[in-house]
Amino acid sequence: MKDKTTILVVDDDPNIRRVVQLYLEKEGFNVQIAERGDDAVAAFRRAAPDLMLLDVMLPGMDGWQVLKAVRKTSSMPIIMLTAKEETFDKVLGLELGADDYITKPFDGKEMVARVKAVLRRTQGTETEEEEKTDVLTFPGLSVSLSHYEVYYENKRVEMPPKELEVLYFLASHVGQVFTRDQLLEQVWGFDFTGESSRTVDVHIKRLREKLVGSDRYGWGISTVWGVGYKFEVK
């Protein structure tokens, strides 16, 4: 019996494999590695992983062939790693039995969140209470950090990871004012210099565009002139 959840990472790029492995091991996962498609099928049969992160473009067998081979005998969740964004690829993958997609280049924290979300969904281990622990809700708005999902006016809003993280951080501290430097440190994790603080302004602008009309619900991201930003509930 395995003590840890095992993730099989299949990618021919050593840099991507290393980054993914570091992020997953940091979260307590056991990680197995394969560089080729045929090796991935062999590793799947040998290691019986709980989930596979599978690149599309691989030597030996491509990702589609690996996906088809695994699906002949297993419903193990598979998340495709792809640099392609064509609708055809996504439809093909879903038809072949992929559980989710992550498009390169991807954010490491988003990747971990997607892995956890798929595991919870496929293993049925997420309780109703656990689903609620990371969800911030306001009238017309719902933000989930573990699922990396934002719903506004009952519609899912597509957001890059950092936009979502800025929104989640501000909404977690209602009424508290944060400077640009504080937001950079809290959300990006390290200090930016010079013109880089403009990054925060750009993300706030995009958030406001996507959450237009929030004033009628009594909340919004407010500018505190000369200081920074806050999530305000009236």
| pLDDT tens readout for residues 59-109 | 999 999 999 999 888 888 899 888 765 555 666 666 677 878 888 888 888
Overall pTM surpassing 0.75 (yes/no): no
Copy the structure tokens of residue 220.
Answer: 């919004």
Name the architecture of domain 6-123: 3-Layer(aba) Sandwich (3.40)
Residues of the chain with CATH 1.10.10.10: 133-233
Strand partners, 95: none
Sign of the CA dihedral with 22 first, then 25, 26, and 27 last? positive
Pick the CATH number of 133-233 from 1.10.10.10, 3.40.50.300, 3.40.605.10, 1.10.1740.10: 1.10.10.10
SS3 category, 76: coil
Strand partners, 231: 221
Is a pLDDT exceeding 90 seen at residue 138?
A: yes
pLDDT digits (tens, 9 = 90+) for 158-186: 887 778 889 999 999 999 999 988 988 88
Residue 170 amino acid letter = L
Is a pLDDT exceeding 70 seen at residue 199?
A: yes
In angstroms, the CA 65 to CA 63 distance is 5
Residues of the chain with CATH 3.40.50.2300: 6-123
